[in-house]
Amino acid sequence: MSVPRLVALSAGSAEALERATDALIASLERGAFPSAATAVAAAHRRAVVAGEPAEAAHYLRRRDARRVATGAAAPGRPVAFLFPGVGDQYPGMAGGLYRHVPVFAAKLDRCLRSLEADQGLDLRPVLYPANGDAGRRGPDLAALFDRSETAERIHDTLVAQPLVFAVQSALAAALRAVGVRPAALLGYSTGEYAAASAAGVLPSESALRLVALRARLVAALPRGAMLAVMAGPDALGPHLAPDGEVSIAALDGPELTVLAGPEAAIEGVAARLAGDGVASRRLPTTHAFHSPMMAPVVARLREAVAAFALSPPAIPLLSNVTGTWMRPEEAVSPDYWAAHVRHPVRFAANAAELRRLPDPVLVELGPGQTLTWLALQGGADSVLAVPTLPGRLQSRPDLTVFLTALARLWTAGVEVDLAALDGLIRSAG
């Protein structure tokens, strides 16, 4: 299969864009891809991602909204990078980017080598289990349904947290390479470490060491469980265990709350909720994150963070702990990061802060679009949500999804260096 390309065009009016599109179709039908660098950034924009000129012409001729991004650019829209926590990772994740985007591969390689040297963790066979093959075009569907011990390792706390951080760091590097710069940052749970690194609070190598240490500390704790409940926190009081074993671990939306606690206690809460007609779902985790079960690691995590030099964020950064913008003194405080592992994730409040920005563009740096979906639950028609990787059950190739994200960003008016994009993609190897 041919490596996909991004084809972009623009014009000063909607009518002129249609004429330019028809002219481009005729050129594509003659078998030539234009260079993305030749696209003029006029107000009315269109972009398509395709593997062959004829395919691009087909999508453009149909004005296929699923494949073709069209928009009146609004320069200056603030971009927010959203970094998920664990749960949506899968074998083969970002393999297409690893094969075809050298800047992505170089950053991921540095992270994986660091984990192997510092932590003794060789995660490449976990991420790319097909004999180490990183050339897959999208999710490894066979591995998704593999329930062997090797396949299940990607969900272990010790593996999942540093692995997701590494992929997120590589995605951020690829976006920076084509000029996409965030105006705000938000991470979910361990994703806040990736967000803090992107904000300049600490270098990515240091953040990765902290994430790996945090994962090691948590992995040594008794196992627990987490439960997503389709109800607000006020409605859950009667359903919680009276001894306090089960607590609120995340406030994800007006009608979406995550509970955490020992497995037997969570099962009891789930049964009581079901009896009252309240929907809930167990999450694919091995521990009760952001709950009292994390208390034994707080002091050791505080001590570990104190050994690193932290800086105030250079880019506005949201806090899971407070639900609002992180203050400089919080970012550099070991006490803050120690509290972060124990306190609930106030994601709904974080998302509300992002929606207050003028026409924000939310870019999810991880598989799927769980965070952007959650962020949109509070409304805001002017918010644009853009995934950068396919979800675990989606079949679209990684590179197609990534380039489609850039197409949507560019047509919305976000600064994307199309000339740099021409040199970003490796056609084979």
pLDDT tens by residue, 288-301: 999 999 999 999 99
Domain 1-73+397-429 is in which class?
alpha beta
The three-class DSSP label of residue 273 is helix
Tokens at 167, concatenated:
């992929």
How far apart, in Å, are the Cα atoms of 373 and each of 42, 136, 159, 249, 251? 30, 26, 26, 19, 14
- Calpha distance 198→178 (Å, rounded): 16
How high is the pLDDT of residue 132? Answer: 45
CATH of domain 79-202+295-395: 3.40.366.10
Tokens at 48, concatenated:
């398509």
- Of 157, 60, 51, 63, nearest in space to 96 by CA: 51
Q: Give start-end residues of each CATH 3.40.366.10 domain in the chain.
A: 79-202+295-395
CATH architecture assigned to 225-282: 2-Layer Sandwich (3.30)
CB-CB contact of 278 with 239 (8 Å) = yes
pLDDT for 2 beyond 90: no
Q: Give start-end residues of each CATH 3.30.70.3290 domain in the chain.
A: 1-73+397-429
- Calpha distance 133→290 (Å, rounded): 35
Q: Give start-end residues of each CATH 3.30.70.250 domain in the chain.
A: 225-282
The three-class DSSP label of residue 365 is strand
- Calpha distance 140→356 (Å, rounded): 38
**Edge-to-edge strand order for the sheet containing 247-253?**
247-253, 256-261, 225-229, 280-282
The three-class DSSP label of residue 230 is coil
How high is the pLDDT of residue 141? Answer: 47
How high is the pLDDT of residue 429? Answer: 47
Q: Read off the DSSP letter of residue 359.
A: S
How high is the pLDDT of residue 147? Answer: 47
Q: What digits encode the pLDDT tens for the residues 4-38?
A: 999 999 999 999 999 999 999 999 999 989 887 77
